[in-house]
């Protein structure tokens, strides 16, 4: 490249000081997002703005990594264009998927899927059987150690 | 003049590292770099599919993510972010030193980067192990019979039911989670209730729960909750802080989601997408670790010079993309 700062180098050389500085900024931004996310229940309830702030800060961090650590600032613009195009296509992908899922949202069947419901029913049956047989064990011999921890089931109370 | 390569029986001379279809080291370097960036765009598209799944799931069911996220430890997530950021910096330093021909500094920087990769995976191992130990599996396995029952406390579900049905409190579902945490903290000796697994709440807000005679016991407890949310009561504010700062899976009085009356339906979906995205990212970290070992080997053998350090530069690009993806994964999972 034409803008080499050091004679004879193949690519642009990023000074060490700049790398350390950028890393410090990245760490600061990380601490910032964590702090902002903790605001929710302490002082201010910023609610859904949290995700926007978090993603905004993440985008700034990603841009810094790309520009400095990955040398995009000094590379041919074509490479940046290429990389941004892939991000753009991911955004298109997500946007169209969101449009589709929101258009069909009312048709989504509420509740658990059949397979999961079967699992839950089996767990209930197992707990009831354990109670009915007077054993506090959950029915599996391997779990006999925790017998005293397994809560007893009292169906009559409900 | 560079040393003549014996395998090249041509009538021209060029450095060993320069393929003879290139005009100059710079041209070769730029072409290789572009090839690497092509690969990196496919990486973005690969993770793009999972980011799409995440967005669609979260957009349809935000309560799953608000609920599941509190079982992740923000401290370890932030630590891992710092580890990756610093290892990204040392990788970039390795590239700088390689371009200046300082081999020893390159080796030190690569070793530091390798330690970053190992440290990241070690922390991830601890986190995963913790989740598996408590039964937070992805997909259907989430509903297997729990075997870590010693970690669980039976919950007085009527207490939470009372909170859930108290319309005057006007709580959103995330406040409900904290109210629930308060109930657990207040009633550690809750009577052994029925083990009923089919009690998940569909969508945000309460549902499917019944109140009972134990309401009175809890009436005074719940009466001051709205003020507590406004931060007027210092004691309760402290308790809220406790509930906020501790992953429920870690606090001894917190139950597994399966025993949880306010567990949203399909709570397993959060852990499914969590394990898929961080798992794919973890695979990239492991592969990056092997790549750094390979770079170290070649550096120690003295294969690189000021004129030729392309593998270090391109390996660095890959490592930065791994960092880049984690920069987005961290807030998406840990900071909800």
ipTM of the complex: 0.77
Answer yes or no: is pLDDT of B243 > 60: no
A-chain CB neighbours of B161 within 8 Å are none
pLDDT at res. B188: 41
Secondary structure (3-state) at A143: helix
pLDDT at res. B255: 55
Burial of B120 (0-12, 13-18, 19+ CB in 10 A): buried
A-chain CB neighbours of B25 within 8 Å are 10
Answer yes or no: is pLDDT of B117 > 60: yes
The model's pTM is 0.73
Percent of chain B past pLDDT 70, that is, above it, reads: 61
Count, residues in chain B = 336
Please check whether residue A5 lies inside any domain of the structure.
no
| H helix or E strand, kind and range, residue A30 | helix A16-42
CB-CB under 8 Å, A15 with B194: no
CB-CB under 8 Å, A54 with B331: yes
Closest C-alpha to B318, from B294, B282, B288, B286: B288
- Which contacts qualify for B22-30: CB closer than 8 Å, 24 or more apart? B25/A10, B25/B307, B25/B308, B26/A1, B26/A10, B26/A11, B28/B310, B29/A10, B29/A11, B29/B310, B29/B313, B30/A1, B30/A76
From the candidate CATH numbers 3.40.50.150, 3.30.70.1450, 1.20.120.80, 3.30.70.890, the one assigned to the domain spanning B25-139+269-334: 1.20.120.80
Residue ranges of A 69-108 with Cβ closer than 8 A to chain B = 69-70, 75-76, 78-79, 82-83, 85-87, 89-90, 93-94, 97-98, 101-102, 105, 108
| H helix or E strand, kind and range, residue B278 | helix B268-300
Answer yes or no: is pLDDT of A133 > 80: no
pLDDT at res. A21: 95
Burial of A28 (0-12, 13-18, 19+ CB in 10 A): exposed
Closest chain B residue by Cα to residue A27 = B82
Please answer whether residues B288 and B258 qualify as being in contact, where contact means their C-beta atoms are separated by less than 8 angstroms.
no
Q: Which domain holds residue A134?
A: 114-157
Q: Which residue has the higher pLDDT, A103 or B249?
A: A103
pLDDT at res. B145: 67
The token pair at B274 is 């969590």
Q: Which residue has the higher pLDDT, B248 or B129?
A: B129
Q: Based on the domain organization, do A98 and A27 belong to the same domain?
A: yes
Please check whether residue A86 lies inside any domain of the structure.
yes
Q: How confident is the model at residue B124 (pLDDT cuts 50, 70, 90)?
A: very high
Closest C-alpha to B34, from A12, A82, A89, A63: A82
B-chain CB neighbours of A62 within 8 Å are 324, 327-328
Strand partners, B264: B201
| H helix or E strand, kind and range, residue B57 | helix B25-60
Taking CB atoms and an 8 Å cut-off, how many pairs form between chains A and B?
A: 228
B-chain CB neighbours of A89 within 8 Å are 45, 48
CB-CB under 8 Å, A68 with B198: no
Burial of B326 (0-12, 13-18, 19+ CB in 10 A): buried
pLDDT at res. B154: 46
Secondary structure (3-state) at B264: strand
Closest C-alpha to A37, from B72, B185, B119, B236: B72
Answer yes or no: is pLDDT of A150 > 80: no
B43, B57, B83, B145: which to substitute to probe chain A, counting the most A Cβ within 10 Å? B145
A-chain CB neighbours of B81 within 8 Å are 30
The token pair at A144 is 């006999």
Q: Based on the domain organization, do A98 and A150 belong to the same domain?
A: no
Answer yes or no: is pLDDT of B318 > 50: yes
Answer yes or no: is pLDDT of A132 > 60: yes
Q: How far is A107 from chain B (nearest CA, A)?
A: 12
Return the number of other C-beta atoms located less than 10 Å from residue B279's C-beta: 14
Answer yes or no: is pLDDT of B286 > 50: yes
pLDDT at res. B182: 60
Ramachandran bin of B71, using left for φ above 0, alpha for ψ from -120 to 50, beta for the remaining angles: alpha
Burial of A75 (0-12, 13-18, 19+ CB in 10 A): buried
Give the Cα separation of B295 and B300 in Å (integer): 9
Taking CA atoms, B292 is separated from B117, B285, B289, in Å, by 9, 10, 5
Q: Based on the domain organization, do A44 and A98 belong to the same domain?
A: yes
Q: Based on the domain organization, do A130 and A88 belong to the same domain?
A: no
B-chain CB neighbours of A120 within 8 Å are 143, 197-198
Closest chain A residue by Cα to residue B75 = A34
- Tally the domains of chain A: 2
The shortest CB-CB distance from B55 to any of A94, A115, A143 is to A94
Give the Cα separation of B134 and B130 in Å (integer): 6
Mean pLDDT of chain B: 74
Report the helix count and the strand count for chain A, using DSSP H and E.
4, 0
Answer yes or no: is pLDDT of B202 > 90: no
Domain with CATH 1.20.120.80 in chain B: 25-139+269-334
B-chain CB neighbours of A15 within 8 Å are 96
pLDDT at res. B139: 80
CB-CB under 8 Å, B81 with A19: no
Most confident of A106-110, B216-220, B240-244: A106-110
Give the Cα separation of B135 and B123 in Å (integer): 19
A1, A3, A9, A10: which to substitute to probe chain B, counting the most B Cβ within 10 Å? A10
Please check whether residue A92 lies inside any domain of the structure.
yes
Q: Based on the domain organization, do A69 and A146 belong to the same domain?
A: no
Closest C-alpha to A91, from B173, B110, B156, B48: B48
CB-CB under 8 Å, B44 with A86: yes
Answer yes or no: is pLDDT of B204 > 50: no
Q: How far is A94 from chain B (nearest CA, A)?
A: 5
Closest chain A residue by Cα to residue B268 = A116
Q: Based on the domain organization, do A68 and A89 belong to the same domain?
A: yes
Mean pLDDT of chain A: 77
Q: Based on the domain organization, do A146 and A71 belong to the same domain?
A: no
Taking CA atoms, A129 is separated from A119, A155, B110, B168, B199, in Å, by 15, 11, 59, 39, 18
Q: Based on the domain organization, do A37 and A75 belong to the same domain?
A: yes
Return the number of other C-beta atoms located less than 10 Å from residue A87's C-beta: 16
Please answer whether residues B308 and B25 qualify as being in contact, where contact means their C-beta atoms are separated by less than 8 angstroms.
yes
The token pair at B91 is 């990788």
């Amino acid at each position: 490249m034409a803008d080499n700062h050091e004679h004879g180098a193949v690519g642009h050389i990023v000074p060490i000081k700049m790398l350390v500085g950028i890393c410090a900024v990245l760490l600061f931004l990380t601490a910032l997002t964590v702090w902002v996310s903790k605001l929710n229940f302490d002082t201010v309830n910023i609610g859904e703005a949290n995700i926007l702030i978090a993603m905004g800060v993440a985008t700034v961090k990603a841009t810094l990594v790309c520009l400095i650590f990955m040398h995009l600032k000094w590379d041919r613009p074509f490479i940046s264009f290429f990389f941004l195009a892939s991000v753009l296509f991911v955004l298109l992908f997500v946007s169209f998927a969101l449009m589709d899922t929101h258009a069909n949202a009312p048709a989504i069947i509420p509740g658990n899927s059949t397979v999961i419901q079967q699992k839950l029913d089996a767990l209930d049956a197992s707990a009831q059987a354990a109670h009915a047989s007077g054993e506090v064990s959950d029915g599996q011999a391997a779990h006999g150690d925790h017998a005293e921890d397994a809560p007893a089931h009292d169906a009559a109370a409900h | 003049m560079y040393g003549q390569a014996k395998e090249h029986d041509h009538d021209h001379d060029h450095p060993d590292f320069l393929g003879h279809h290139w005009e100059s080291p710079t041209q070769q370097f730029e072409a290789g770099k572009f090839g690497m960036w092509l690969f990196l765009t496919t990486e973005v598209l690969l993770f793009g599919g999972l980011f799409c799944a995440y967005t669609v799931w979260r957009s349809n069911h935000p309560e799953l993510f608000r609920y599941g996220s509190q079982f992740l430890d923000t401290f370890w997530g932030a630590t891992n972010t710092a580890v990756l950021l610093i290892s990204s910096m040392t990788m970039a330093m390795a590239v700088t030193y390689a371009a200046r021909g300082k081999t020893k500094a390159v080796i030190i920087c690569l070793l530091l980067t390798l330690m970053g990769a190992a440290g990241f995976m070690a922390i991830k191992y601890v986190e995963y192990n913790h989740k598996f130990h408590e039964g937070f599996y992805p997909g259907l396995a989430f509903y297997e019979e729990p075997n870590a029952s010693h970690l669980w406390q039976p919950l007085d579900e009527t207490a939470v039911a009372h909170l859930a049905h108290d319309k005057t409190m006007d709580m959103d579902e995330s406040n409900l989670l904290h109210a629930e945490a308060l109930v657990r903290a207040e009633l550690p000796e809750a009577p052994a209730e029925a083990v009923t697994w089919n009690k998940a709440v569909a969508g945000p807000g309460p549902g499917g729960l019944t109140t009972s005679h134990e309401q009175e016991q809890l009436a005074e407890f719940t009466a001051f909750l709205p003020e507590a949310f406004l931060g007027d009561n210092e004691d309760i504010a402290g308790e809220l802080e406790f509930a906020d700062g501790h992953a429920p899976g870690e606090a001894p009085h917190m139950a597994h989601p399966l025993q949880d009356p306010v567990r949203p339906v399909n709570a397993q979906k959060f852990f499914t997408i969590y394990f898929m995205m961080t798992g794919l990212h973890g695979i990239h970290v492991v592969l990056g670790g092997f790549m750094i070992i390979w770079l170290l080997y070649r550096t120690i053998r003295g294969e690189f010079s000021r004129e030729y350090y392309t593998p270090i530069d391109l390996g660095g690009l890959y490592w930065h993309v791994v960092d880049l993806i984690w920069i987005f994964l961290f807030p998406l999972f840990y900071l909800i």
